[in-house]
Amino acid sequence: MRFGIVTFPGSNCDTDAYHAVVDVLGEEAVMLWHKDHDLRGVDVVILPGGFAHGDYLRAGAIARFSPIMREVSAHADRGGRVLAICNGFQIACEAGLLPGALVRNAGQSYICDQIRVRVENTDTAFTNAYTRGAVLRMPIAHGEGRFVADPAVLDAIESEGRVVFRYVDAAGVASPAGNPNGSMNGIAGIINNAGNVLGLMPHPERVVETVLGPADGLPLFESLVAQVAA
């Protein structure tokens, strides 16, 4: 299957995503430039981490108007899969592909750390290779990762099982101590209503090889391959 990885001016995790897909997963990937008008027939679009357009105005606010995003939205409307990581998650929210917004961390500072997330929903194209309730170690690296949404939106995504990853503490409990950035309900990753767009702040593409520790991000990519091949 074919992944398309979008590079915006300021993306810096695009080659990490390429490495995860091509070198580790053994799948095909094409790099897409933000000014492209064609997704070149990819099955899955990855919006990678970074600081697209310098995060000017708001993180993701300018990138959402890049020409490629018109194609990404059309792809998503057709049911095509979109994996939006970190800055990609911010772009997806700004573009309306996902609800809510990501704002300055509650503690004000940029956080680069290993955190824990719990897999809340394994009935998705992105998480079917995980065990429900599994606690994963993943890195985060963001200044604007605090997920916020209107109460009605928050209720909806919670009740519909669309919170896919939640920050937890060392005991696997969703607690203030386990929530690095003050996200509402400890939300680290959500999926859209149709189940084909996933956004998360942690970086699964950085933890796909055991030489670097637990490869807790790999099942996410394996889930996608299993799903599209099926």
Partner 1 sequence: MMRYRVAVHILPRDGILDPQGHAVADALHTLGFQGVQDVRIGRHVVVDTDADTAEAAREAVRAMCGRLLANPVIEDFEIASVTRS
Is beta strand 187-191 parallel, antiparallel or unpaired with respect to 197-200?
antiparallel
Decide if 86 is catalytic.
yes
**Measuring CA to CA, which residue among 92, 108, 85, 103 is closest to residue 16?**
85
State in angstroms the smallest separation of the CB of 109 from partner 1.
10
Known catalytic residue: 203? Answer: yes
Decide whether 150 or 155 has the Cβ nearer to partner 1.
150
User: Of 2 and 104, which CB lies nearer to partner 1 in the complex structure?
Assistant: 104
The DSSP line for 147-173 is EE--HHHHHHHHHTT-EEEEEE-TTS-
Q: Which of 13, 75, 86, 144 is catalytic?
A: 86
Rounded least distance, CB 106 to partner 1, Å = 5
Nearby residues of 172 by Cβ (< 8 Å), 6 or more positions away: 116, 118, 133, 135
Separation between Cα atoms, residue 197 and residue 101, nearest integer Å: 15
Q: Please, which residue, 42 or 47, has the CB nearer to partner 1?
A: 47
Cβ of residue 215: shortest distance to partner 1, in angstroms?
Answer: 34
User: What residue ranges bind partner 1 (CB under 8 A)?
Assistant: 57-58, 61-62, 65, 93-94, 100-101, 103-108, 146, 148-150, 182
Of 53, 75, 142, 203, catalytic: 203
For partner 1, the closer of residues 13 and 103 by Cβ is 103
Minimum CB separation from partner 1 for residue 8, in Å? Answer: 16
* Those residues with Cβ within 8 angstroms of residue 196's Cβ, 6 or more apart along the chain or in another chain: 76, 79, 80, 81, 82, 125
Question: Rounded distance, CA 218 to CA 91, Å?
Answer: 23
For the annotated catalytic residues, the residue numbers are 86, 203, 205
